[in-house]
Amino acid sequence: MKTKWWAGLMAALLLGPTVVWGQRYGGDVEVDVVSDRGRTLPQYPVREERGGVYKAYLEAVRGRNYSIQVRNRTNQRVGVVIAVDGRNIISGDRSELRSDERMYVLGPYQQESYEGWRTGKNRVNRFYFTEAGDSYSGAWGDYSAMGVIAVAAFREVGRVQPQPWSQEGPGYSDQRGLRRAPSAAEGAAPRAAPAEPGTGYGEREWSPSRRVEFDPEQRPFVQVFLKYAWRETLCRQGVADCDGGRRPPRNRFWNEDDRYAPPPPREEREEWR
């Protein structure tokens, strides 16, 4: 059986207690976004849940560093592919949340915080909320998943013993970004940056890690998508209650409560035939 090498975080800073969405969603993997002040950023769930998928809006705060906190609630190891603005946070590559991407590995009931883009075995460059044009993905002209933190969790096919991590293997990003050449799509003329938040490539910090062997299943058993936006945007869209309950008029083509067309009224059915 062909095995792959994945990143496993050895130590991370835990930033205080959090209110986890897993308690209301019932998932095996919990995801929160935490500020450096230890505050869990509020989430506003979207009523579009389906098996193993959770979506929510998230309030971003300009210029603030943040961490992605992931907790494994199962009694087995799990691998998590984490993408910010559509980029894998370990390799910096464009992510499709697939099982063949670089991922972090969490032990049974383990919780870890991921604080930035991994730029070496023992360092990361911090995540911080900024304008899309100042973001790491924006530097590559990639706005295809701007403003979304995505986590895909994979179960393990077979348990293996951890091995030492080789020193800064290929695929890490350096101070300029990715070491690999950009793809043809990324090399195209950049689009104008959208007026929405993105995640920047911040200050370098110590973050030790080691390499472990992990053979993931092909499909994730949990996927989490957090769409972060500025507070004024959440207020304007009526996602957050910012004015004492007065919501803007509902858009008839964007109704998160009703997903299907209702049947025609009984008294009018004859006219449909």
pLDDT class of 52 with cuts at 50, 70, 90: confident
Looking at residue 162, what is its pLDDT?
Answer: 44
Cα dihedral 235, 239, 245, 249 sign: positive
pLDDT beyond 70 at 163: no
Write the burial class of residue 214 (CB in 10 Å: 0-12 exposed, 13-18 middle, 19+ buried). Answer: buried
Please list, in sequence order, all residues whose beta carbon lies within 8 angstroms of the beta carbon of residue 14, skipping any fewer than 6 positions away: 69, 111, 112, 113
Contacts of 96 (CB under 8 A, 6+ apart): none
- Quick one: average pLDDT of 167-175? 33
Please name the residue that has the structure tokens 């300029």: 176
| pTM value surpassing 0.95 | no
Name the pLDDT band for 233 (thresholds 50, 70, 90). Answer: very high
pLDDT exceeds cutoff 50 at 183: no
pLDDT in tens, 64-94: 999 999 999 999 999 999 999 999 999 999 9
Strand partners, 223: 53, 152
Looking from the CA of 156 toward its CB, the CA atoms found within 13 Å total: 24
- The fraction of the chain above a pLDDT of 90, given in percent, is 59
Q: What is the pLDDT of residue 263?
A: 60
| Strand partners for 125 | 117, 204
Which helix (H) or strand (E) element contains residue 198?
strand 197-199
Q: Supply 77's token pair.
A: 């190891």
Closest CA to 105 of 203, 205, 181, 209: 209
pLDDT (mean) for 89-110: 96
Q: Is the pLDDT of residue 156 over 60?
A: yes
Residue 31 identity (one-letter amino acid): V
Angstrom distance (rounded) from CA 236 to CA 232 = 6
Q: How many CB atoms lie within 10 A of CB 196?
A: 17
